[in-house]
Amino acid sequence: MSQAAWNAYRERADKMAAALAGSDGRVRLRKPTSNLFRPRKQSANSQIDAASLNHVIEIDADARVAEVEGMTTYADLVEATLPHGLAPAVVPELKSITIGGATTGIGIESSAFRYGLVHNTVEELDVLIADGRVLTCSREQRPELFYGFPNSYGSLGYAARVRLGLIPVSPYVRLEHIRFAEPEALFAAMDAECARPTCDYLEAVYFAPGEFVLSRAQLIETLPAATEPSDYTWMRQYWKSLRQRREDYLTIHDYLWRWDTDWFWCSKNVGAQLAPVRLLLGRKRLSSVTYQKIMRASHRWPLRLLQFLRPRTESVIQDVDIPIANAADFLADFEAKIGIRPVWICPFVVPEGGFSLFSLRTDTPYINFGFWDMVRSDKPDGYYNALVEELVAGHGGKKSLYSRNTYDESAFWQHYDREAYQALKRECDPEGRFPGLYEKTVQGR
Residues near ligand FAD (CB under 6 A): 29, 31, 34-37, 70-71, 92-93, 96-98, 100-102, 104-105, 107-109, 153-154, 158-159, 317, 319, 370, 372, 402
Task: Please say which residue, 116 or 323, places its beta carbon nearer to ligand FAD.
Answer: 116
Least separation in angstroms between residue 64's CB and ligand FAD is: 21
Dihedral of CA atoms 414, 415, 416, 420 in degrees, nearest 10, equals 50
| Residue 391 · residue 337 · CB < 8 Å | yes
* Distance from C-alpha of 372 to C-alpha of 387, rounded to nearest angstrom: 15
Q: Which residues contact 299 (CB under 8 A, 6 or more apart)?
A: none
CB atoms within 10 A of CB 185: 13
Q: Taking the complex as a whole, how short is the minimal distance between the CB of residue 291 and ligand FAD, in angstroms?
A: 9
Are the C-beta atoms of residues 101 and 81 closer than 8 Å to each other?
Answer: no
| Residue 137 or 279 with smaller CB distance to ligand FAD | 137
Cβ proximity to ligand FAD: between 149 and 225 the closer is 149
432: left (phi over 0), alpha (psi -120 to 50) or beta: left
- Closest separation in Å from C-beta 212 to ligand FAD: 18
Are the CB atoms for 439 and 160 separated by under 8 Å? no
Q: Got the DSSP string for 242-280? A: HHH-SEEEEEHHHHHTTTTTTTTTGGGGGTTTSHHHHHH
The rounded distance, in Å, linking the Cα atoms of 279 and 244 is 22
The nearer residue to ligand FAD, 180 or 348, going by C-beta atoms, is 348
Least distance CB 106 / ligand FAD (angstroms)? 7
Q: How far is the CB of 74 from ligand FAD (least distance, A)?
A: 8
Do the beta carbons of residue 316 and residue 269 sit within 8 Å? no
Residue (100 or 279) nearer to ligand FAD, CB: 100
Which one, 317 or 360, has the nearer CB to ligand FAD?
Answer: 317
User: What is the closest distance, in whole angstroms, from the C-beta atom of residue 336 to ligand FAD in the complex?
Assistant: 23
